[in-house]
């Protein structure tokens, strides 16, 4: 059975191995230079604005391969479900060859066990190795990535660590199960893609933020979390809050709001929030100019009690969240595997 399974899927396995070998070669050839550039850049800058400028230049120089490698890891589990999982049993059912095998000395349970075990382990290992390889290569970029591309960002998180291994195992088991239920290859592939995509979207939106209770805290306003202060022609003073959290770089920000002294929300991140402060006299007067005046105005706003209220998952929770999420996908995989064995013994003929 192992030999037969290999004969059936050696084409897909060979192509996958070739693509992974190409990816590994590219990562190995460029990884050392990437790390050296990052180390040299950090050594030549001082912590503060200089390093911030270096981070921007460094990430922009490698942004294209960063996005390409992340995309490869993101789509690989879906391809496993589509081209490895869905046709695994459906192809046999469409051709009727499963009846021939079941009339030999091989039971249908053992037949499914070998097919799932051999093909599933190879496919899952391929996705896991690619995820870990890209995680190693992108380490310097993950430390310098801007908002939206940070390590805890939902899309980047899904392409790092051990999570791709769990995704691939789930996608493979999902494809096999859907194929057994639908019994047609193309509909099974379409349904597998739809269900897998729905689960992948629901996980970061509905589940991952609550796997560990998020932190909610308030922070004083500073140049780290305020993008700009403005005064309109009517003399209305406003502040533009960002999603950055002072002292917690790299966190996954679930919400960031500008609140008044009573805790009432004034504006969310990216919106201009109106602050009732005098623009005719005092630190925020129209006559003020230069960075010192801006700093003095920021101090005045904080004195009045205006704060940033943020809910976030700190960077330190990256690996705990990775393990928990991978465990959830492992349980889903086991459930689908059990359903496949139950269906092939009780329902499939």
**pTM value surpassing 0.85:** yes
Q: Give yes or no for residue 344 having a pLDDT over 60.
A: yes
User: What pLDDT does residue 48 have?
Assistant: 53
Residue 299 counted as domain residue: yes
67-122 pLDDT, tens digit per residue, is 999 999 999 999 999 988 888 888 877 766 666 666 666 777 888 888 888 888 88
Q: Give yes or no for residue 291 having a pLDDT over 60.
A: no
Residue 235 counted as domain residue: yes
Distance CA 207, CA 196 (A): 15
User: What pLDDT does residue 177 have?
Assistant: 94
Domain that holds residue 48: 1-213+317-348
Residue 312 counted as domain residue: no
53-69 pLDDT, tens digit per residue, is 888 889 999 999 999 99
Residue 324 counted as domain residue: yes
Residue 286 counted as domain residue: yes
Mean of the pLDDT values across residues 34-58? 80
CA 195 to chain centre: 18
Do 263 and 195 fall into the same domain?
Answer: no
Do 234 and 337 fall into the same domain?
Answer: no
Do 278 and 208 fall into the same domain?
Answer: no
Task: Count the alpha carbons within 13 Å of 288 in the hemisphere toward its beta carbon.
Answer: 19
Residue 171 counted as domain residue: yes
At 254, is the pLDDT very low, low, confident or very high (cuts 50, 70, 90)? very high
Residue 99 counted as domain residue: yes
Do 240 and 100 fall into the same domain?
Answer: no
Spatial CB neighbours of 58, under 8 Å, sequence gap ≥ 6: 37, 38, 41, 140, 141, 144
Mean of the pLDDT values across residues 326-347? 91
The string of DSSP letters for 237-261 reads EEEEE-S--TT-TT-EEEEEEEE-T
At 50, is the pLDDT very low, low, confident or very high (cuts 50, 70, 90)? low
Do 88 and 236 fall into the same domain?
Answer: no
201-232 pLDDT, tens digit per residue, is 999 999 999 999 999 999 999 888 888 777 76
Residue 148 counted as domain residue: yes
User: What pLDDT does residue 71 have?
Assistant: 93
Average pLDDT taken over every residue of the chain: 86
Number of domains in the chain: 2
Do 299 and 331 fall into the same domain?
Answer: no
100-108 contacts: CB < 8 A, separation 24 or more? Answer: 106/1, 108/344, 108/345, 108/348
Inter-residue contact 86 to 185 (CB < 8 Å): yes
Do 240 and 291 fall into the same domain?
Answer: yes
User: What pLDDT does residue 173 have?
Assistant: 95
At 7, is the pLDDT very low, low, confident or very high (cuts 50, 70, 90)? low
Do 229 and 185 fall into the same domain?
Answer: no
Q: Give yes or no for residue 154 having a pLDDT over 90.
A: yes
Task: Count the alpha carbons within 13 Å of 307 in the hemisphere toward its beta carbon.
Answer: 12
At 46, is the pLDDT very low, low, confident or very high (cuts 50, 70, 90)? low
Do 206 and 323 fall into the same domain?
Answer: yes
Q: Please give the angle made by the CA atoms of 139, 140 and 142, to the nearest 5 degrees.
A: 65
Residue of 53 and 290 predicted with greater confidence: 53
157-200 pLDDT, tens digit per residue, is 999 999 999 999 999 999 999 998 998 999 999 999 999 999 99
Report the SS3 class of residue 184.
coil
% residues pLDDT > 90 (the chain): 42
Do 97 and 122 fall into the same domain?
Answer: yes
CA 63 to chain centre: 16
% residues pLDDT > 70 (the chain): 87
Do 204 and 140 fall into the same domain?
Answer: yes
29-39 pLDDT, tens digit per residue, is 989 889 999 98
Do 169 and 53 fall into the same domain?
Answer: yes
């Amino acid at each position: 059975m192992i030999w037969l399974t290999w004969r059936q899927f050696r084409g897909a396995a060979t192509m996958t191995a070739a693509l992974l070998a190409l990816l590994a070669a590219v990562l190995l050839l460029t990884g050392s230079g990437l790390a050296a550039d990052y180390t040299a850049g950090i050594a030549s800058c001082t912590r503060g604005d200089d390093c911030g400028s270096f981070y921007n230049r460094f990430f922009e120089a490698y942004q294209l391969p960063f996005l390409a490698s992340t995309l490869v890891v993101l789509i690989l589990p879906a391809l496993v479900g589509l081209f490895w999982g869905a046709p695994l049993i459906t192809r046999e059912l469409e051709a009727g060859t499963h009846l021939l095998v079941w009339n030999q000395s091989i039971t249908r349970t053992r037949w499914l066990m070998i097919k799932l075990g051999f093909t599933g382990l190879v496919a899952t290992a391929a996705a896991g190795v690619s995820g870990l390889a890209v995680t190693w290569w992108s380490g310097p970029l993950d430390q310098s990535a801007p908002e939206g591309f940070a390590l805890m960002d939902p899309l980047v998180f899904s392409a790092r660590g051990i999570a791709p291994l769990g995704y691939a195992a789930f996608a493979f088991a999902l494809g096999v199960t859907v194929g057994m239920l639908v019994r047609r290859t193309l509909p099974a592939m379409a349904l597998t893609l739809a269900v897998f995509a729905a689960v992948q979207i629901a996980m970061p939106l509905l589940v991952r933020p609550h796997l560990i209770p998020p932190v909610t805290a308030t922070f004083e306003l500073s140049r780290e979390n305020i993008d700009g202060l403005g005064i309109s022609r009517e003399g209305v003073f406003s502040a533009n809050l960002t999603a950055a959290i002072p002292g917690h770089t790299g966190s996954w920000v679930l919400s960031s709001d500008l609140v008044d002294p009573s805790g009432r929300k004034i504006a969310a991140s990216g919106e201009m929030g109106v602050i009732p402060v005098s623009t005719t006299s005092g630190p925020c007067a129209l006559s003020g100019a230069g960075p010192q005046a801006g700093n003095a105005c920021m101090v005045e706003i904080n004195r009045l009690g205006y704060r940033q209220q943020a809910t976030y998952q700190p960077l330190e929770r990256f690996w705990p969240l990775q393990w928990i999420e991978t465990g959830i996908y492992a349980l889903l995989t086991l459930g689908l595997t059990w359903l496949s064995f139950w269906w092939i013994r009780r329902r499939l003929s």
